[in-house]
Amino acid sequence: MAEFRTRVEGERAYLLRYASLQLRDRASAEDAVQETLVAALAGEKGFAGRSNLRTWLTGILKHKIVDAIRRNSREAAFARDPAADLDDLDPLFAADGHWAEPPSAWSNPDASLEQKQFFAALERCLAGLPAKTAQAFMMREHLGLDASEICKELGLTSTHYWVLLYRARVALRECLQANWFGKQ
């Protein structure tokens, strides 16, 4: 039991980083991680070494994150004007809707993805996204939820969801171009 507890506790920093990216609120992330650790320790016999400990803990954490998102969406209504997010993307496009300046081609994305600095740059870029946009993107790309689940959890229409996803991808591409690929 003590050895298992030590191994579980050793994953706390990783789990906190993961939860912080998803929830964008340190207190909520810490709560989700704490709930994950308690659930893991209570379910030690369920683990039994059948998978990687980090993978198992991340699976538990994903459920705790979804619970936190549900809880937060019930507690506070979305008060922000979604059209306000469009203003900061307008300079990227010409009047005809095409890129004003197309992003440069990536030289070798597979090699870049393997580098730890890339993930640090990605985390900084994600932190720069508007909260609702980042949440929709992370729920889709990291948690693997489908559009209807995300719309339900975040209180979005299908159209608004796809707009947020598009904005996230464009903003992340621009940020990574400026802070990662453009520096290579």
Which pLDDT band, with edges at 50, 70 and 90, does 120 fall under?
A: confident
pLDDT value for 85:
55
pLDDT value for 42:
83
Tell me the CATH architecture of domain 82-183.
Orthogonal Bundle (1.10)
pLDDT value for 111:
65
Same-fold call for 2-75 versus 82-183: no
What CATH number was assigned to the domain covering residues 2-75?
1.10.1740.10
Q: pLDDT, tens digit, for every residue of 61-104?
A: 888 988 888 877 766 554 455 555 555 677 777 777 777 887 77
Round to whole Å and give the CA distance between 174 and 170: 6
pLDDT value for 58:
87
Residue 37 confidence (pLDDT) above 60: yes
**DSSP track, 2-71:** HHHHHHHHHTHHHHHHHHHHHH--HHHHHHHHHHHHHHHHHTHHHHTTSS-HHHHHHHHHHHHHHHHHHH
Q: pLDDT, tens digit, for every residue of 8-30?
A: 888 888 898 888 888 888 888 89
Round to whole Å and give the CA distance between 175 and 171: 6
Domain definitions of the chain by residue range? 2-75, 82-183
**Percentage of the chain lying above the pLDDT 70 cut:** 78
Which pLDDT band, with edges at 50, 70 and 90, does 130 fall under?
A: very high
Averaged confidence pLDDT in the chain = 81
